[in-house]
A and B are shown apart, each in its own frame.
Chain A
Amino acid sequence: MAITLHRFANPGQFLRLSGRILPYLAVAGVVLTLVGLGWGLFFAPADYQQGDAVRIIYIHVPAAWLASGGYFGLALCSLLSLVWRHPLADLAAVEIGPVGAGCTALCLATGSLWGRPMWGTWWVWDARLTSMLVLLFLYLGHIALVRAFDSPERGYRAGAILALIGVVDLPVIKFSVEWWNTLHQPASIKFTSAPTVFSGMLWPLLISILGFSLGFAAIVVARLRAAVMERRTRGLLLARAQEAA
């Protein structure tokens, strides 16, 4: 497994491969996001109880999905970095961090904007909301920690350990609505049973989730390409300086 992973970790090979797939990823992400959000905003039915406020779901759920999914990706990269010393895993973890934090902040903000008219409050210290806030702090902690050391390698190592410890928050987020009495509603889409969402709302939601996911991947790949090129430039300049000295 380690050999296979390292074969795809060559920075030159990554730049060539990512340069080919990035345009398709970005275009598919933009098109599907626009279709999903346009459908959800203008054509999907309003909810019989919530009215049009339910249209916030087409932003809130994809953002929540990517907040948790992004952190899982960050933790996976941290594991690859700590165990197999994968050369791109450190950079990938660093580049996922800010994008995942943005999605988590968006999820919390849209949840608040949805909660105010439905629950009558912007915020409650509910298990789901609080565990999501903890996830935002984990992202922010990771972002700060990887930049807190003079040696990048030490920063990557410390960030990877924090990411792996923080992964325990993911099942807490997922099951918080079942383990505790919460104001937040239970999951409407599950892998183990049929969705409880009306199909006229489900399809734009699924398209929006797919579009956001592809867009997230495109942004992370673009950031990772930049990071690889920046590292290569620094390495070349350092080698020249050492030769000249």
Chain B
Amino acid sequence: MTETQEETRQAGDTAEGAAPGLGRGLRILHNLGWTLIYLGVFTLGFVVHQLFVTTWFAEQNQPELALERLEQWESTEISEVVVVPDSTDPDDPNDPGISSGATGSTGDEPPEPLILKVESPPDLGAAFALIRIPKIERLQEGWNVVEGVRTADLRNGAGHMPDTALPGQPGNSVISGHRTTWGQPFHELDALDPGDRIEVETALGTHIYAVREILVVKPTDFWVADPREGAWLTLTTCHPKFSARQRLVIAAELVFGPNAEVIEVMS
């Protein structure tokens, strides 16, 4: 190392290190300044990471997830359940008003049996559905939904909560999604109004829901995922934006799709 280089190196040490030539007060100020600069860089990095890097990763995954979803649809087993509307007492809570299979009718004329299509449940982490919301620009082309709401699952943007009904099936199908990070598919969910359309495409076909309820709840309000009569889709996301303090919940009812008619009769 030449003498000039050594001098330059020492000058750098003085500028960045303990600043021995300065008094105690100035040294504290000097170190505080550097600490604030490091904190600023760290915070700026955090903001850039959350807003852009996570979304970049989630968007990069979308084409791969789309292929995975199409493969999943090809391998999905679809079974048909015969549902015979029953003419028993509708006020009896123990009587669901339907029976499955070829028996169960007690009326004078046997009601026409209906077919409920049921798809096999997807594997955890697998892309199996596409959600489209025409009113939200980001979701007009659709966003892939994976099975599961683990942290790793939600790095793809949106996930279906296991143990809730699949989209297009009777009950309450819950899909959770990021609002400000990881693709932010549900960023504009608060733009929805009652009556707006939500489409979910699965191996069975396209299920169309109409928004009925918009709620803001606590993150611990698990009741929003409870089963419901009929076929419902519940979308949940963080609220307000850039905060995990609450949850924005959109509840939508199935109005059209492969199973809409039979579920309406069942209800």
A and B pair up: no
Binding site for B on A (CB under 8 A): none
Binding site for A on B (CB under 8 A): none
